[in-house]
Structure 1
Amino acid sequence: MTKKSTIQIEKVNTQIVDWLKSYAQNAKVNGFVIGISGGVDSAVTSTLCAQTGLKVLCVEMPIHQAPSHVTRGREHIAQLKQRFPNVTSTEADLTHVFDTFQSAVPGDSNDAKVSLALANTRARLRMTTLYYFAGIHGLLVAGTGNKVEDFGVGFYTKYGDGGVDLSPIADLMKSEVYLLGHFLKIPESILEASPTDGLFGDDRTDEDQLGASYDELEWAMKQDEAKKNKDDFSGREKIVFEIYKRLNTINQHKMAPIPVCFVIKD
């Protein structure tokens, strides 16, 4: 498969920071709120926001969270607060809220569909919490999705982590996010960790869920943009391309505008 993307890191960093600052100032808000997961996307996004000099609120929102995720998130927040005086943090433990919701609805959590619905519920509870903090502090909710997730395979929760005010890194491939993460000196523990959404309360990675790595999916996304089809490939390349096309197709409802029934009123 082809080489990963390369970017002019310092130039991209400056461009995104300037864009964030300009957008916030035009919107007449005080800054940004970001959910911190212990992953590279939220670490990079929060560091970009911090560079604007505007208020940045980092929010931890554990729900039966793996200790390693919590540790990485806290390490990043501590580092960010040390580097940038405009960064503050808070924690909203949503475990009890989630448990109360789960007890109030029907379904066996061992059922795959119920398990997925509950995973998406976690993301939607977090979205609601971020907008609570955004409302009381006059902030914008900064999204943490990258290009492969947001526009390739739709690997996010509709009205969960997909419910944001602006998306600073949504035009960056995952490999580019990592390059930016190294440039921004986010903790090595985050850069070295396997990507995971942490929504199932276990150790499954994004690759486990998607069936392909981000490097592979980046390659497939580029082939799709070049109008290639599955018959152009064989072996692992064909498998990955088919995975990408399947996910891209079934998740169009997330990526396309909400359909509206335009009524003829004459």
Structure 2
Amino acid sequence: MIKKVAFQADKVNTHIVNWLKTYAENANVNGFVVGISGGVDSAVTSSLCAQTGLKVLCVEMPIHQHESHVSRGREHIEQLKQRFPNVSNTITDLTLVFETFKKEVPTDFDEKKLHLTLANTRARLRMTTLYYHAGVHGLLVAGTGNKIEDFGVGFFTKYGDGGVDLSPIADLMKSEVFTLGTYLKVPESILKAAPSDGLFGDEKTDEEQLGANYDELEWAMLAAEAGKSTNDFSGREKEVFDIYKCLNRTNQHKMKEIPICLINRT
């Protein structure tokens, strides 16, 4: 039986807020910019940043966005602004930019591969937008990836949502993010919504894309870290463990530093 360590939301919250504030002060910046998606990760990240007392800019970046994602994101932003005077928001609608981009590149490819590539393009357009706002306001781009996504299955876009200045929740499992979200009083609409990356303009869930839910993937990640192998399991556990190991292996290029060809000059 693989057991999780008890999660103390209050202590974790204080630790991350202090870490964020110290990092920003040492970097001599004004605060943080966070892309708001309507999901729990961006809601928790922006709530943590808001507690530093530094400037926090929440940015909505719709690209044919599903209405449920938009409404949840705006509900969170309004709630956050009411609680923290240092929080402001802006909307950068990237739909026209995205459509213009598609007109300028060839699209006569395998439909599945094209669909995924364009989804990743959305994420990279958003990364560029966040860095624009960060640059003109003197802010850091705060990442919203959690431990499972960033270091377990690599469920993020390289140079998209993976392109950030710092990652405040990247050592938290998804279940811990939800626990922290409850502690931070994130809107119920977000806490109850099925996790979705929102990159396809519909309500396709992360579980539908990954083949397993986050509780299952957390279990598999802990099992792998404990040295377990696929031969240790059967049934659904074996299936989930194999999904985790496959994604972890396939996406190592996202999790490791960029390889450099070193030159021997001796």
With the shorter chain as reference, the TM-score category is over 0.9
Give distance in 2, aligned partners of 1:63 and 1:188. 24
- How much does 1:201 deviate? 1.2
- How much does 1:107 deviate? 1.5
- Does the Cα contact within 8 Å between 1:9 and 1:180 map onto a contact in 2? yes
Q: Name 1:133's counterpart in structure 2.
A: 133
Give distance in 2, aligned partners of 1:176 and 1:69. 21
1:66 aligns with 2:71: no
* 1:1-266 equivalence runs, <5 A: 6-108=6-108, 111-266=111-266
Give distance in 2, aligned partners of 1:203 and 1:38. 12
- How much does 1:121 deviate? 0.2
Give distance in 2, aligned partners of 1:144 and 1:118. 21
- How much does 1:6 deviate? 3.5
Give distance in 1, aligned partners of 2:156 and 2:230. 25
State the AA in 2 paired with 1:23.
Answer: Y
Give distance in 2, aligned partners of 1:110 and 1:40. 33
How many residues of Structure 1 are paired with residues of Structure 2 in the alignment?
A: 266
Give distance in 2, aligned partners of 1:109 and 1:129. 27
- Does the Cα contact within 8 Å between 1:109 and 1:115 map onto a contact in 2? no
Unpaired segments ≥5 residues, structure 1: none
- Does the Cα contact within 8 Å between 2:2 and 2:223 map onto a contact in 1? no
Instruction: Give CA deviations for 1:45-81 in whole Å, capped at 9, x if unaligned.
Output: 0000000000000000000000000000000000000
Q: TM-score, normalised by structure 1?
A: 0.98
Deviates more, 1:222-231 or 1:103-112: 103-112
Q: Please give the secondary structure, in 2, of the residue aligned with 1:118.
A: helix
- How much does 1:103 deviate? 1.2
Give distance in 1, aligned partners of 2:50 and 2:110. 41
- How much does 1:154 deviate? 0.2
Deviates more, 1:241-250 or 1:195-204: 195-204
- How much does 1:180 deviate? 0.1
Give distance in 2, aligned partners of 1:235 and 1:109. 37
Q: TM-score, normalised by structure 2?
A: 0.98
State the AA in 1 paired with 2:189.
Answer: S
State the AA in 2 paired with 1:212.
Answer: A
Instruction: Give CA deviations for 1:109-163 in whole Å, capped at 9, x if unaligned.
Output: 8700000000000000000000000000000000000000000000000000000
Q: Please give the secondary structure, in 2, of the residue aligned with 1:127.
A: helix
- Does the Cα contact within 8 Å between 1:5 and 1:176 map onto a contact in 2? no
Give distance in 2, aligned partners of 1:208 and 1:44. 23
Q: Where in structure 1 do 4 or more consecutive aligned residues deviate above 3 Å?
A: 1-6
- Does the Cα contact within 8 Å between 2:197 and 2:205 map onto a contact in 1? yes
State the AA in 2 paired with 1:9.
Answer: A
The alpha-carbon distance between structure 1 residues 69 and 175, as it changes in their structure 2 partners (threshold 3 A), is: same
Q: Please give the secondary structure, in 2, of the residue aligned with 1:140.
A: strand
State the AA in 2 paired with 1:29.
Answer: V
Give distance in 1, aligned partners of 2:196 and 2:22. 31
State the AA in 1 paired with 2:23.
Answer: Y
Give distance in 1, aligned partners of 2:67 and 2:34. 20
- How much does 1:203 deviate? 1.9
Unpaired segments ≥5 residues, structure 2: none
Give distance in 2, aligned partners of 1:207 and 1:146. 15
Give distance in 2, aligned partners of 1:5 and 1:226. 14
State the AA in 2 paired with 1:243.
Answer: I
Deviates more, 1:256-265 or 1:14-23: 256-265
The alpha-carbon distance between structure 1 residues 85 and 202, as it changes in their structure 2 partners (threshold 3 A), is: same
The alpha-carbon distance between structure 1 residues 103 and 109, as it changes in their structure 2 partners (threshold 3 A), is: farther
Instruction: Give CA deviations for 1:142-198 in whole Å, capped at 9, x if unaligned.
Output: 000000000000000000000000000000000000000000001000000000001
Q: Please report the RMSD computed on the Cα atoms of aligned residues, expressed in angstroms.
A: 1.2
